[in-house]
Homo-oligomer: A and B are copies of this chain.
Amino acid sequence: MDSAAVVGTGLIGTSIALALRGRGVATYLIDTDQEAARVAAGLGAGIAGPPRGPVDLAVLAVPPQQVAAALKEHQLRGLADDFTDAASVKEPPQLEAARLGCDLARFVGGHPMGGREQSGPLAARDDLFHGRPWVLTPSALTRPQTLERAERLAELCGARPVVMAHAEHDRAVALTSHTPHLVSTLLAARLLHGERSQLGLAGQGLQDVTRLAGGSAELWTDILGSNAVAVADVLADFAHDVDDAVEVLRGLSTAREPEQRRTHLEALSTVLVRGVQGRARLPARGGTGAPSTSTAYAAAPRGA
C-alpha cells in the first residue's frame, strides 16, 4: 500500500494516519472540520486535503451513523480504489451502504479495537492500536484485494486483523464494550443523587468503574443507538442479575432465622465468586487472549 486517505481526523483517524505516515505511506487527511484536518497535518499525520488521484485505500473514521453516507460520497468522488471504516458497529452501516447503492465490492467494514478517554486529533498516538485486535467484516460482495488492503492497514498500525461476520462483531462488542459503557454510565448517573459528603468518601474503585462514563455522550448515543438490539439483549440479562441481587440483599436484611440468613449469604457469595471467575476470563492486556508482548500498549489505550 503506497497511499491512503483518512476521512475524519479525530482520535481514531489521526492515530491511523500517524501510524501510516510512520510506515512511509502517503496519507491524505479529510475532515468536514478543515481545522481538525490541519491540526492532524501539523502533528505529522499527513497532508491536509484530498489527493489529486485515487489513493489505494480510504479509511472512513467517522461515527457509525455517518459511515454509509461518507462511503457513498467518497466513492462518487473517486477518493480511493478501496474503502474501509473504523466504526464500533458493523451491521447497520453495511445495510445502509447497500441501501444507498455503494460499490460494496470495494468496501470492507473495519473496527480497530483501541481508544482513549480523550478525543480529537491532539489525543492521537501512532501506537494506539499496537497489539490490539482489528476486526474486519467482509461481506459476500467484498473483493479479495479490498480485504487484503484492509488487513495490510491493520498490520501497518501494529494491530492484529481478525475477520468476523457483521452481526457476530456487533454482539461481541455489545458484551465487551457497549454494555459495559452503558453500565458505567448508569452507575455514574446515580451519583447525581448523592450528597457531597457522601461523594467525598469515593476512592479509586469508583473512579475505575465509572471511567467509561466520561466518554463523549454524543458519540456514544450514536454507537449505542446503532447497536441497540444487541446491547438491549445483554443489558436485559444484566438487569435480571441485578434484580436477583436486590432480592438476595432484601432477603438478608429481613431474614430472622440463622438458616435463612445462611442461605442468602451463600447466594451472595455465589454472585461474588462468579464475578471473580468472569473477570478471570478477560484476556491479558493487549486483548490477544494471551499475554501481550507489546510494551507500548501497557502504558496506553482503553477499549473504544
Contacts and interface: CB of A to CB of B under 8 A. Distances in A.
A274 interface: yes
A141 interface: no
A296 interface: no
A215 B231 CA distance: 27
Interface residues of A, number: 103
Interface in A214-253: 214-215, 217-218, 220-221, 224-225, 228-229, 231-232, 234-239, 241-243, 245-246, 249-250, 252-253
Contacts of A115: 203, 205
Contacts of A183: 183, 187, 209, 242
Nearest to A172: B198
B303 A196 contact: no
Majority SS at the chain A contact face: helix
Copies of the protein in its oligomer: 2
A189 interface: yes
A235 B244 CA distance: 11
A301 interface: yes
Nearest to A164: B197
Interface of A: 113-115, 132-133, 135, 162, 164, 168-169, 171-173, 175-177, 179-215, 217-218, 220-221, 224-225, 228-229, 231-232, 234-239, 241-243, 245-246, 249-250, 252-253, 264-265, 268-269, 271-283, 285, 287-289, 301-304
